[in-house]
Chain A
Amino acid sequence: MLLGKERAFNRWVQEHYRFLLRAGWALTGSRHVAEELVQDTFELAWRHQKQLRQAASAKAWLYQILRREALQHIRAGPAPVSWEDEHDNLRQTDPAVLDLRIDMLRALQQLSAAHRDILVLFYLQDMSYRDMADALEIPQGTVMSRLARARTELQKLMKGTIES
């Protein structure tokens, strides 16, 4: 078991990295912050892996960690942005994709944290209600109602973007 820990951990990273980075990006609005959050998330996951009782819930458990880290980051106030990095990032991005990203992130930032959370899980990962309930630590019924309201709200905010 001990000998396979690193290998199992690396499998987690490979399986969940994309989702966690996008989730962190959507929650904070910054890719650079998301990269740091993902790094911290995997570090914490490594240190507390005993808390993970079953591999099937790894995604929900990792998201819980990421979400807490993101909330702490948001509470601490906006982090200084490396404009050099942002500029490089923008230069390499297709203008159409950039518009889409700005609209989407702006819409997400206008939502409440609870609605943003649930939409990230729904659209990025297509999680089941049960997994979303685990990840957000709320009852399954609340997931359903909250998702319905968050969708309606996002629909209004993204109306122009989606129609164009």
Chain B
Amino acid sequence: MTPETHDVPEHDDEFDRRMRAVFESAMPVDGIPGSLLRPERHSLLRPAALLCIGLLVGALAGTAIVFRPPSLVQAAISHERAERTLRGNFMPPQASVAGYFGLAPSARPPGLLQMAKPCLIAGRIAYHMTTWLDGVDGGGMVTAISFAQPVDLPERSGWWPDTYWRVVHTARGMHVLLFAQNRKAVEAAAQRFR
């Protein structure tokens, strides 16, 4: 077949524009009928990936639950942050301090005492002591908290969020909470409170 040699306008002229509008408006089309669409199979990788993500999230959540300290420990750590810069406040005789923390009256509190004062933590009267343990892996400032009334704090330890903490039950039955940024300092102080 020999091609014929008629010219077609390169761009739409007025007639073309109007005809396009006629075609558009004369034959309105609504949505696509659902019967035309095929149900999509999902990739086999997707459930596996979701399962892995679920397990990972579950594991992380579980870890967070396991290591999340009791609310009283959290409150004590927050309290210490607010008072971190206090030093030399309420410095009673060391024997009194030992008594507040369940130590024998003859015992000395561990380290170089920096501060001791009564506080209110989560609505409970508490004794707050900060002491510097020299010679423990470069030294470490340790905070010890004891409560005037009995509290339910099992002997446990953890890290949250940048603080090592440990609950020690003293020989006299007091529950002392210790925490520091240096884990070895916490361990050393714990030995002294048992």
Contacts and interface: CB of A to CB of B under 8 A. Distances in A.
Contact of B40 (A6, A124, A142): A6
Interface string B54-82: 00000000000000000000000000000
A151 to B, nearest CB: 7
A155 B38 contact: no
Contacts of B16: 123, 151
Contacts of A100: 22, 25-26
B interface, over-half SS: loop
Contact of B27 (A22, A139, A145): A22
Contact of A151 (B5, B8, B20, B32): B8
B40 A104 contact: no
Interface string A96-116: 010011001100000000000
Contacts of A10: 37-38, 40
Contact of B3 (A9, A123, A144): A144
Contacts of A39: 35-36
A161 B22 contact: yes
B5 to A, nearest CB: 6
A162 interface: yes
Nearest to B31: A17
Nearest to A101: B26
A18 B6 contact: no
Contacts of A105: 26
A63 interface: no
A31 B27 CA distance: 8
B38 A6 contact: yes
A157 B26 CA distance: 16
Contacts of A138: 1
Interface residues on A, range: 35 or more
Interface in B21-55: 22-23, 25-29, 32-33, 35-44
A10 B36 CA distance: 8
B19 interface: yes
A26 B27 contact: yes
Contacts of A97: 25-26, 28
Given A3-B44, A22-B29, A144 B36 contact: no
Most buried by A among B5, B16, B35, B40: B40
B84 interface: no
Contacts of B3: 139, 141-142, 144-145
Nearest to A139: B3
Contacts of B1: 138-139, 142
A156 B5 CA distance: 21
A44 interface: no
A25 B30 CA distance: 14
Contact of A17 (B5, B8, B32, B43): B32
B162 interface: no
B123 to A, nearest CB: 59
Interface string A4-29: 00110110011001100110011000
Nearest to A122: B16
A101 B25 CA distance: 8
